[in-house]
Amino acid sequence: MTSETYPVDATNRVKRRHDRGRYDHATVHALLDAAALCHVAYVVDGQPYCTPTLFWREGTHLYWHGSSASRMLRNQSDGQPACLTVTHLDSLVLARCGFNHSADYRSVMAFGRARLVEEPGETARALTMMVDRFFPGRTATLRPSTGQEIKATAVVVMEIERASAKIRAKGVADDEEDYALPIYAERLPMRTLIGAPEPCPRLAGDVARPENLAAYREGRALEDALADAYRTAYP
Amino acid sequence: MTSETYPVDATNRVKRRHDRGRYDHATVHALLDAAALCHVAYVVDGQPYCTPTLFWREGTHLYWHGSSASRMLRNQSDGQPACLTVTHLDSLVLARCGFNHSADYRSVMAFGRARLVEEPGETARALTMMVDRFFPGRTATLRPSTGQEIKATAVVVMEIERASAKIRAKGVADDEEDYALPIYAERLPMRTLIGAPEPCPRLAGDVARPENLAAYREGRALEDALADAYRTAYP
């Protein structure tokens, strides 16, 4: 844990419901590390794009990847401003009036300038962590990457210059005078769960599921498995 | 179902893995209607923002909301270019080499110009559907909105000018010569499930859960409940 905090300015200050805003590294990083999927906003010729992608964090840097042919990378290689957002939707909230209908959620918006990773050593390390951050130790068990594969994979890095976390976790919150009304209200929770792993039907001989995948087991919350894997990959 | 298709140009053409791209209304709309959460990309002074929000569709229009104080709305009210994206993450894919690690997913990127809804009748209808799209018929059972609440709620609308869906649903796909290697590979499925509904602890008297919430039951996939609710709300 750290007591460090991301700087706050007009870009990342949580304005609406500012009581829900958090800027400390511990909160921001924990929400990022519990996710595999993010959405990245970037701009090309004035047109915003919102692209879903897998990502991971290393210190105050965020990494994601794609083909060097991709629109996003072609335009971010020189350090384009970007915003990477992660959202955990925890519930839908049914209140006693339309206005108080809401959702519980935990989200992070991270701002910085995205650039293509170009230093060969940094690329090689990033390609390893792209797998090992999710499945610690896995790269060492795989068929090594070919030069062509490495060349075809582009890695983007963005230092987090500013970030904010926003959390709502209070369920139903009605106006005091509305609680007496004969209206049904509830919190409808939801969670992303891991299903039964589906081994490749073409596994060779007696290849078994490795022990280091134990964090990913049926019925477990994906975010818990991801957070565990993160702690193993970056102890 | 419809055979209509969104126009394709440089903005929305799926370039990387173009075989995964779809542009027909039926595919695009079904993926949107199975989601409650989206991420919207927009630009303020050259800085991209990626904001998570609840949203819904009406024909070829997308709606989302927020306080009139919000950064996003203040800057999109005059018709700002935006991109609204929905992603269903279906699996993580563990392959026999780093390069073939992947994920199964179904995503939609919708492009258009977002503007504030200002016509009073349109606002009133949008405020009803903001609740009833998720919980059909619910608004009629609620304490009516006050003038102040309506004033404090801003609704944004964006006509979908271009859109693309991108779908990967093939699990492990290794290079042919790698299947013989003694390396474990699997598809790790995941799904967002509804938990046990949590009635408000302050329910008045003998208020029961209404029948019209039956689509939202414990253990069901959230996307299935949302799609059902959508079909009831917009038959």
pLDDT at residue A74, as a whole number: 64
Q: Among A46, A84, A105, select the one facing B50 at the smallest CB separation.
A: A84
* Residues of chain B neighbouring A187 (CB-CB closer than 8 A): 197-198, 200
Closest approach of B154 to chain A, Cα-based (Å): 11
CB atoms within 10 A of CB A2: 8
Side chain identity at residue B82, one-letter code: A
Mean pLDDT, to the nearest integer, of A90-118?
95
Question: Over the stretch B118-151, which tens digit does the pLDDT of each residue have?
Answer: 887 788 888 899 999 999 999 999 999 988 888 8
Among A86-90, A154-158, A190-194, B172-176, the minimum mean pLDDT is found in A154-158
> If pLDDT is split at 50, 70 and 90, which confidence band does A19 have?
confident
Among A118-127, B28-37, B162-171, the minimum mean pLDDT is found in A118-127
Question: Over the stretch B179-203, which tens digit does the pLDDT of each residue have?
Answer: 999 999 999 999 999 999 999 999 9
* Residues of chain A neighbouring B47 (CB-CB closer than 8 A): 11, 81, 83, 111
* Residues of chain B neighbouring A42 (CB-CB closer than 8 A): 41, 48
Res B19 pLDDT > 90: no
Among A33-42, A114-123, A157-166, the minimum mean pLDDT is found in A114-123
* Cα–Cα distance for residue pair A50/A62, rounded to 1 Å: 17
- Residue A176, classified by CB atoms within 10 Å of its CB into exposed (0-12), middle (13-18) or buried (19+), is exposed
Res A23 pLDDT > 90: yes
Closest approach of B119 to chain A, Cα-based (Å): 19
Among A220-224, B2-6, B224-228, the minimum mean pLDDT is found in B2-6
Closest approach of A2 to chain B, Cα-based (Å): 26
Res B72 pLDDT > 60: no
Mean pLDDT, to the nearest integer, of B35-46?
93
Asked if A108 contacts A20 with a C-beta cutoff of 8 angstroms, the reply is no
Res A68 pLDDT > 60: no
**Is A5 among the domain residues?**
no
Mean pLDDT, to the nearest integer, of A215-226?
98
Residues above pLDDT 70, as percent of chain B: 94
Q: What angle do CA B218, B224, B226 make, to 5 degrees?
A: 95
Pairwise CB contact (< 8 Å): A192 & B190? yes
* Shortest CA distance from B129: residue in chain A: A98
Residues above pLDDT 70, as percent of chain A: 94
* Cα–Cα distance for residue pair B117/B77, rounded to 1 Å: 8
Question: Over the stretch A175-214, which tens digit does the pLDDT of each residue have?
Answer: 999 999 999 999 999 999 999 999 999 999 889 999 999 9
- Domains in chain A, number: 1
Tokens 């976790």 correspond to A169
Res A108 pLDDT > 60: yes
Mean pLDDT, to the nearest integer, of B11-32?
90
Closest approach of A4 to chain B, Cα-based (Å): 24
Among A139-153, B60-74, B97-111, B153-167, the minimum mean pLDDT is found in B60-74
Pairwise CB contact (< 8 Å): A105 & B52? yes
Mean pLDDT, to the nearest integer, of B194-214?
95
Residues 6+ positions from A96 with CB-CB distance below 8 Å: A174, A175, A178, A179, A181, A183, A185, B142, B143
Asked if B136 contacts A166 with a C-beta cutoff of 8 angstroms, the reply is no
Encoding tokens for residue A131?
């797998």
Q: Among B43, B52, B143, select the one facing A183 at the smallest CB separation.
A: B143
* Residues of chain A neighbouring B204 (CB-CB closer than 8 A): 179-183
Asked if A163 contacts A22 with a C-beta cutoff of 8 angstroms, the reply is no
Phi/psi-derived region of residue B131, left when phi > 0, alpha when psi is between -120 and 50, beta in every other case: alpha
CATH number, position B93: 2.30.110.10
**Is B208 among the domain residues?**
no
Res B46 pLDDT > 90: no
Backbone angles phi, psi at B125, to 5 degrees: -65, -40
pLDDT at residue A67, as a whole number: 56
> If pLDDT is split at 50, 70 and 90, which confidence band does B76 have?
low
Tokens 């392959």 correspond to B95
**Is B66 among the domain residues?**
yes
CA-based nearest residue to A55, from A30, A79, A36, A31: A36
**Is B202 among the domain residues?**
no
* Residues of chain B neighbouring A43 (CB-CB closer than 8 A): 43, 46, 48
Q: How much is the CA Rg of chain A, to the nearest whole Å?
A: 21
**Is B56 among the domain residues?**
yes
* Cα–Cα distance for residue pair B235/B230, rounded to 1 Å: 8
Asked if B32 contacts B86 with a C-beta cutoff of 8 angstroms, the reply is yes
Res A76 pLDDT > 70: no
Pairwise CB contact (< 8 Å): A99 & B152? yes
Pairwise CB contact (< 8 Å): B50 & A47? no
Structural domain range at position A119: 18-191
**Is B216 among the domain residues?**
no
Instruction: Give the residue, B67 or A90, on which the prediction is more confident.
Output: A90
Side chain identity at residue A155, one-letter code: V
pLDDT at residue A66, as a whole number: 62
Asked if B87 contacts B175 with a C-beta cutoff of 8 angstroms, the reply is no
Residues above pLDDT 90, as percent of chain B: 74
**Is A219 among the domain residues?**
no
**Is A70 among the domain residues?**
yes
Res B205 pLDDT > 90: no
